[in-house]
Structure 1
Amino acid sequence: MWRRNLLARIAISRDLCAREPVIRSPFVDRWKKPFSTSSEEQEAATEAFVSRPTKGLVYGRLNQLGKNTLKTDIIHFFDGCNLTLSDIRFDYNRSYNPLGAVLQFPSKGPFDAAVKLLIRKGRLYRLEKADRSQWDLLTSYDGKTVLIQGVPRNASFDDVERVLSGCNFDSSSIQMFVRPGFPDSVRMALVQFPTRLEAMNAFLTKNRSFCLNNPISMRVLQ
């Protein structure tokens, strides 16, 4: 008797389980969705990434510079190309004559604008594409260093200081050296100044003066 009752209860519970609705969690359905979008959406995203304009510094080498060309001359020539004094580095030879200058543009747009300006203004300079390594190799004197040429061989550091009397300069920065010249080699000196203004003031007031009765010439290095 008790066995028949037990079998009846088991049958009833199985029937109720079969009729009970299954409740599915919405979180299960969410995680079952694929992560990738449709093929059309993927292609559109890829195309947008490829066509996105790349931003970054662009370098150009400017040739055919004059010996007395200044950074400000280049900035004024390329007006509207977003160049600043810190975006220009001159390339000098061993005698400190400019071979050219490397320009750092904020992006490709200003570089292209500079090329168009050269064409419109008659190609006074020659601008060609450069890379970052050319920029890194150059020293920027930043208009604060003055080159003195024609220093007598027997001149001392004190003699150079006397030439610059009345100017504000760093006396510990004076360097003297000899470079080949024609018909004789030339002795030179480099002197650093605190600001561009003081370096230019020394050039304007002391250029073509004398050191131990020898005429000297001066130039502000960029």
Structure 2
Amino acid sequence: MQRQLSLLGHVLKSNGSRFPRPNQGFLPPLRQLPRNLSTDGGTESKEPSFDPFLQSPTKGLIYGRLTGIGKNTLKTDVIHFFEGCGLTMQDIKVDYNRTYASFGMILQFSSWTVFDTATRLITRKGRLYRLEKVDRGQWDLLKFYDGKVVLLQGVPRNALPEDIERFLSGCNFDASSIQIIVRPGFPDPSRFALVHFPSQIEAMNAFRVKNRSFCLNNPILMRVLQ
């Protein structure tokens, strides 16, 4: 028994260095860099993305309603007035009322910068024009006549499309496009006719040749819609 106790003490003494002392803890592992908690598993943090809707728009088409124009104001007059803004005939739509009298235009600008330039031109030139921003929906609602549609005013109440064709005989127009429009009026309703032509030249030619001519003994006033 004494020999066994002696052997046990020898073993504990020789292996004592393998066990930690009561007041001695294990060395902590090397400190690791904090991991990014993003779901993509990346190790580098990403800068927060900038929301483009929080900044002022600087690109894209801008639409403005121009009022204060006269009944005879042409698109070319507006283009000349806003010289330097890059407007073309296709950037302008005329806003007509129910009797096809123009009371404004919708302009399409290439950017906010150009729109601001246009507003400064109005202030500098001292015109009675007024330009206010509108959304694209108002632009889309307007028809684009492009100088190829002629308005006939004073159409007799008993006139038929065939009578309009005879009135425009000798002109190159689309007979299938003739549209007779009736508007309430006093003492009698007003009657108009819209006729489409293949080009601006053909429309202007019909205006020069047929304006103030007679249809069923009624004088017809003609106007080219822009």
TM-score, structure 1 as length reference: 0.75
Q: Which residue of 2 aligns with 1:10?
A: none
- The partner residue of 2:67 within 63, 69, 72 is 63
Pairs within 5 Å for 1:1-222 = 34-36=43-45, 54-222=58-226
Identity among equivalent positions (%) equals: 66
Alpha-carbon distance in 2 for matches of 1:161, 1:53: 51
Find the residue that maps to 1:172 and give its secondary structure. Answer: helix
Q: Root-mean-square deviation (CA), in Å?
A: 2.6
Alpha-carbon distance in 1 for matches of 2:55, 2:194: 50
Alpha-carbon distance in 1 for matches of 2:82, 2:191: 36
Alpha-carbon distance in 2 for matches of 1:69, 1:203: 17
Alpha-carbon distance in 2 for matches of 1:120, 1:165: 49
Alpha-carbon distance in 2 for matches of 1:60, 1:84: 14
Structure 1, unmatched stretches of 5+, are: 1-32
1:106 Cα deviation after fit: 0.6
Deviating 4+ runs (over 3 angstroms): 50-53
- List per-residue Cα deviations over 1:141-191 (Å, max 9, x = no partner): 111111101011122222211221221110110011211234422111000
Preserved contact between residue 145 and residue 225 of structure 2 (Cα < 8 Å): yes
Alpha-carbon distance in 2 for matches of 1:201, 1:126: 34
1:34 Cα deviation after fit: 4.4
Question: Cα distance 1:51–1:139, how it changes in 2: closer, same or farther (>3 A)?
Answer: closer
Preserved contact between residue 68 and residue 219 of structure 1 (Cα < 8 Å): no
1:54 Cα deviation after fit: 2.5
Find the residue that maps to 2:177 and give its secondary structure. Answer: strand
- List per-residue Cα deviations over 1:25-80 (Å, max 9, x = no partner): xxxxxxxx94347xxxx59x96xxx8897311111001122223222221122111
Find the residue that maps to 1:60 and give its secondary structure. Answer: strand
1:204 Cα deviation after fit: 2.1
**Structure index of larger Rg:** 2
Alpha-carbon distance in 2 for matches of 1:154, 1:60: 41
- List per-residue Cα deviations over 1:182-206 (Å, max 9, x = no partner): 4422111000011112112212222
Find the residue that maps to 2:178 and give its secondary structure. Answer: strand
Alpha-carbon distance in 1 for matches of 2:128, 2:201: 27
Question: Cα distance 1:165–1:62, how it changes in 2: closer, same or farther (>3 A)?
Answer: same
Higher helix share: 1
